Amino acid sequence: MKRRVLIIGAGLAGCYLATQLQTSCDVIIITKGTRNDSDSMLAQGGIAAALATNDSPAQHAEDTLAAGQYHNSLAAVEQLVTTGPSLISQLIKQGMTFDHQANGQLDFGLEGAHRHHRILHANGDQTGAALTSFVQQQVQQIHWLTQTTVLELIVKEHQCCGVLVRHSNTQKTEILPADVVVLATGGLGNLYPYTTNDATVTGDGFALAQRAQVAITDMAYVQFHPTLLMINHHCDGLITEAIRGAGAHLVDENNHRIMATFPQQDLAPRDVVARQLTAWQAQGHQLFLDISPVSNFEQRFIGVTANLDRRQIPFRQTQRIPVQPGAHFMMGGIRTDLNGQTSLPGLFAIGEVACNGVHGANRLASNSLLDCLVSAAKASQTIKDGPNLLQPLNLTALALQPQRSGPITQVSVPSLTELQKRAWQQLGIVRQPAALHDFLNWLAPYQLSKLCPAQLTDSQLTVVNLGLCAQLIAKSALAEPTNLGANYLVRES
């Protein structure tokens, strides 16, 4: 009998896992939005892999470790850089098309903290959408459950054996039994008012794991991307790092080059650039990306150009784009081994929601899509080929269990706007221990961990899940003895 696998999340990690399992398992993908709602679809920069003749996995590993401040797991990095190229080659053989040079060779781009041109792009700056859509087209033997929110992991006899869901169209709750549950829910960017993340990315996987007492690690390490398009204090999309790789410079209103004195200058690691831009902004300066050195900008960055035109940014006249740092990626997450297994039998985690140590304290640019493929591929091998993962349970009886009635309105939670404002001020790019304690003290009276998800509205659940993530970030940041990568504390003297 086929194993029943529930995959939570419609991004690249979850969909690629589904392609690997669809012939051997009964697979269901559950997403609270549509098939197109994920950070994977928004990824602009590309996917990193040592496929060029002058490059090697060892050099890719060195760059990954340096960017991660050597907080990485060596085994996880080795697995990423050695397994990734073969997976990309397989996708190319299956028909995935990456951008090529005029001579027919793959066109490798350069991004921050990479010493070599090793970034593959598709449709210019629309790699994530092209790659995720291609993988989704290969998913043909599974069942989709869209507009469906996972409320809780079902844990019986110390193993995960299903999920409790709520269908958005009917508001009815239902238990879905499973032999294996895989969290591929992405990050938590919407904890912050400025983020590159899709609106559906609200820390759900971390909150599900915490409620089930699954091990979580390294939550202090939130990456802030240096260049979000900012108009009147509102984020209107990502300005890919590949533009700086093509020669653009970060400047202020006086055209002063902000990163000129730093090693690697505009292509320094993201934590370094984000902190410098924040400091520059605090001095009253405006932030811009000077694109005048970039040849064929509109042809190379089609998606960014279209977005700038939609927002009526006069970049052709000024050759500048207004930018600001914003929340981008979570390096920490649900602790897993190299095969995606969590501390709870029957539960796997892959992609951004998981932490096997590959990204360390600061993710190297364009390693995220690669990690989606690698972590999914390794998890699929364990799920397909491993021994029985669980003890036999009566899953039919489990599905028939009565559910707690939902939603009620007598729940006190902070507003999303207030939570985001405080998170930006106190859990942002530069932190202070006193501010972290103040944040935890502000959130404590709400007792978020005691609230029952099935008794919350969708909007309340979003705030609660993000609030639980915020508590994890603050506590993790305070527990770190030294500043490292994306966790930067200004400590009292």
Active-site residue flag, 300: no
CA distance 403 to 421: 35
Residue of 270, 275, 300, 363 marked active site: 270
CA distance 375 to 362: 18
Q: What is the DSSP string of 443-490?
A: HGGG-GGGS-GGGS-HHHHHHHHHHHHHHHHHHHHHH-SS-BTTB-B-
Active-site residue numbers?
270
